[in-house]
Amino acid sequence: MSAPEPQPASKPARHPLVQRILDGSAAESIRLTAARGALPLPLQDLLYTQICLLQDEAAAVVQAATMSLAKLTGEALLPIVRDPACDPIVIDHFARGGHLQGDAMEAAIAHPAILDATLEALAASAPAETLNLIVTNEVRLIKNPRLVEVLRGNPKLSADNRRRLSELERDFIGKEQLRVRAPAAEGALVGGAPVGAAPAGTAGEVPLADPMAEGMPGVSGIPAEGEAPPPDDAAPAEPMSEEEQLAYEEELRKTPAFQKIMKLNVAERQQLAMKGNAEERAILVRDTAKMVAHAVLKSPKLSDNEITNFAGMRNIHEEILRVIASKKEWTKSYATVHALVRNPKTPPGLTVQFLARLGNRDLKIVAGDKNIPDLVRRQARNMFIVRTQPPKKMGKKAH
């Protein structure tokens, strides 16, 4: 338990030819050669390419990649999954496909790059021997408590392993998260000042620079750039509450699209994220594999309404919210900015930069929303007061 968590090796750059093959600019003859394993590429690049080519539009390419990958079994896979540079998509393909046994399976489960989604898929249906290997990977169990629940749902999990999970949950799960996050809550810098520190002469308030002196946009309710806020009597769409989002997710789980996605591996979900429909993207943007969620944001079919919906999701990767907040073409939309600010999962350092974009009505709502971090609420309250307080009257000069 005291051993340090292994760190994944830095990801090597892909061979230039790999990107050409995957973005479709390579001729079918080259893709077919790669699918057969005959292209002179580094082994890890070749395997990654072959797995991605399982989704190729050409049937001959798909068939060649399937046949070539099927030949890799047993001892041939051991050095592949032991390689620190092994891509998580490669591990996922062979682990889910039942190709890994014995030492190869042990190496895959212990690999620092293995995805949570891969471990959860194995934990749900694997035999007792594989479950033993997952239970011994305590670092991953502590980082991903959901994996513990998936393991418990497998009837093949032994009584001894159930006891070990209970002990691990009692002694470590949750406590590690608190220990890591507590210092950040006190010392995180926002606008150059620690979040938890109150300046002298204030009662816990974060000072707000005079917007008129600093030229802060949005003082009059009109942002410096992007879509103007609606009139105060025209309320924007209220974001879904946590309970409503949970109910919506429960409905999504019952759809044929969700059942289809559950049967796909990571590479297939990545492809679907780029080419699928809006319903499939709404499911995949929540995927436990971050690369799948990121692929959703790269889809050429993505609409502004979808971005706004993603910005309001509370069960989405924080990194996805960061990407949305960083794209000027997306944050020009008032609805998207409003959704980001009202989402408690949006990092406070991002949220405060959008407060000046809000209209007075929404600023007042944010100031009173107890689901939003205190820092953001205080800044919203201060900004609302500055905007709405009457101008000070100049006193008569004494003669």
- The predicted-structure confidence for 308-356, as pLDDT tens digits, reads as follows 999 999 888 888 999 999 998 999 999 999 999 999 999 888 888 888 8
Q: Which of 4-13, 221-230, 249-258 has the lowest mean pLDDT?
A: 4-13
Instruction: Find the angle CA(36)-CA(58)-CA(95) to the nearest 5 degrees.
Output: 55
For the chain, the first-to-last Cα distance in angstroms comes to 79
* pLDDT of 255: 85
- The predicted-structure confidence for 74-100, as pLDDT tens digits, reads as follows 778 889 998 888 999 899 999 888 888
Residue 395's pLDDT band (cuts 50, 70, 90): low
For residue 210, pLDDT beyond 50: no
Which has the higher per-residue pLDDT, 207 or 235? 235
What is the overall mean pLDDT for the chain? 78
- The predicted-structure confidence for 253-277, as pLDDT tens digits, reads as follows 788 888 888 888 888 888 899 989 9
Residue 213's pLDDT band (cuts 50, 70, 90): very low
* pLDDT of 393: 59
* pLDDT of 254: 81
Percent of the chain predicted with pLDDT > 70: 76
For residue 67, pLDDT beyond 90: yes
Residue 297's pLDDT band (cuts 50, 70, 90): very high
* pLDDT of 85: 87
316: tokens are 């989405």
Instruction: Determine the Cα–Cα distance for residues 380 and 393; give it in Å rounded to an integer.
Output: 25
Main-chain dihedrals φ then ψ at residue 160, nearest 5 degrees? -65, -40
8: tokens are 């994944």
- Mean pLDDT along residues 153-157: 90
pTM of the model: 0.50
Q: Is the dihedral of CA 164, 167, 173, 178 positive or negative?
A: negative
* pLDDT of 229: 65
Instruction: Find the angle CA(260)-CA(122)-CA(64) to the nearest 5 degrees.
Output: 60
* pLDDT of 384: 87
- The predicted-structure confidence for 125-134, as pLDDT tens digits, reads as follows 888 888 988 8
Instruction: Determine the Cα–Cα distance for residues 89 and 52; give it in Å rounded to an integer.
Output: 9
- Mean pLDDT along residues 7-32: 75
- Mean pLDDT along residues 364-393: 84
Highest mean pLDDT among 15-24, 106-115, 204-213: 106-115
